[in-house]
Chain A
Amino acid sequence: MLKVKRTVKNLKTLIAWEFDRVNIYLLGFIIFVTTAYVLHPMVSFSTRVIRIGEIMFQIKSWWEEYLFYPGDVINAIEPLVAFLSGILFASNVARTFENREMLTLLTCPIKRFDVILSKFLINFLILYFTCGVPFTLDMLLLGINPLSFDMYIWLLILLLPVLFTCSIALFASVTFKAAAPTAIIPPLAYFGLLKILWSTNVKIFELLYSEWDKELFNAAKSWLHFSSTTFSVNANFLYILLHRLLLPIFFIILSIIYFQKVLQLD
């Protein structure tokens, strides 16, 4: 128990230290780009008019569609996050290998595991919050009740694309140890995977890049509203889980193992 407490304390200190070291200009750029992008009328649905006739005559279908609007915003956020995670990890993780800062850091009495995990967590949290805050504002403007679970389910779903691109960026920064490939690989991996799926299986492509958020939202809602026995796990759900959750976790574990056991710094 004491060991866990000490590890958490070390991790907190490292995260705070990492946050202080993040370039303020880069952080400002990311905040500006994500805010302007998420709330821009081309992406955000809260600028669209809510038709009174639809509210009066087709309240059910209108409401269902209305609740799925944040899913489309998440799909629009995903490519932006792929670019930004590359830039952020290149600047905050890969560059520390290039300027030998990592070597200096590892001479201190701290575990390699804590170092890489803190680096991953701070960059992941920066991206998640910079996208999450304007996304929450957009949902509030759209009229989704902040006291209902809907908003929090969408915020949880937003975690997954950010986790996916950050895990690829972490893997690239640890394996290449250079800023340039780290910046390029996450968008390349995202668009490459998109293109491969599009050319091989359109159904799976639509499921993993268009319908996945709605499926997850429905699953989470049915799980929250009814008992867990009514919640059925089908093949589609497993595909989504594999692609959106297990694949990023696999990349993160692989990066940590590589950093701890294989990576040589000299």
Chain B
Amino acid sequence: MRLTRFIAIFLIFSISLSIVTVIRGLTPYSSSSRRNLLPNGSSTTIYRWPPRTVRIELRSTGKLLFEIYYYLNGENHTVIRKFVERGIFTVDVQRRGLNTMF
């Protein structure tokens, strides 16, 4: 009876850990997003739970350098790099540790 209880407790704890691990993975690892981007300022969001689709909306009064890159084997690999004013971008993320920067 006591062993069954301990197994049940262990199972519940494992399930809780799995759920919270998924929640943690879906939460941005790091974010420095601001409502207003200052000139020469940047905003970065890092996720670590691929694959996923990221939708980024940009609105600005001037030109922005919009850049998406992933970090692999110590190198930054650029996915998108262009000057934009506005737009909605959908990016398929297939690799771990994608950084978006604009």
Contact = CB atoms under 8 A, between A and B. Distances in A.
Given A24-B5, A36-B20, A47 B29 contact: yes
B12 A47 contact: no
A20 B46 CA distance: 46
Chain B: interface residue count, which band? 10 to 19
Nearest to B19: A36
Chain A: interface residue count, which band? 10 to 19
A40 B23 contact: yes
A20 B3 CA distance: 10
A24 B13 CA distance: 13
Given A41-B27, A47-B29, A49-B46, A27 B20 contact: no
B16 A35 contact: yes
A48 B30 contact: yes
A39 interface: yes
Nearest to A37: B20
B24 A27 contact: no
Interface in A98-119: none
Contacts of A19: 2, 5
A133 interface: yes
B17 interface: yes
B30 A49 contact: yes
Interface string B3-35: 001001100110111011101100101100000
A33 to B, nearest CB: 8
Contact of A47 (B1, B19, B27): B27
A31 interface: yes
Contacts of B8: 24, 28
Contacts of B5: 19-20, 24
Nearest to A42: B27
15 contacts: A19-B5, A20-B5, A28-B9, A31-B16, A32-B12, A36-B16, A36-B19, A36-B23, A39-B20, A40-B23, A47-B24, A47-B27, A47-B29, A48-B30, A49-B29
Given A35-B17, A39-B17, 19 more contacts: A16-B2, A20-B1, A20-B2, A24-B5, A27-B9, A31-B9, A31-B12, A31-B16, A32-B16, A35-B13, A36-B20, A36-B23, A39-B21, A39-B24, A40-B20, A40-B23, A40-B24, A44-B24, A133-B13
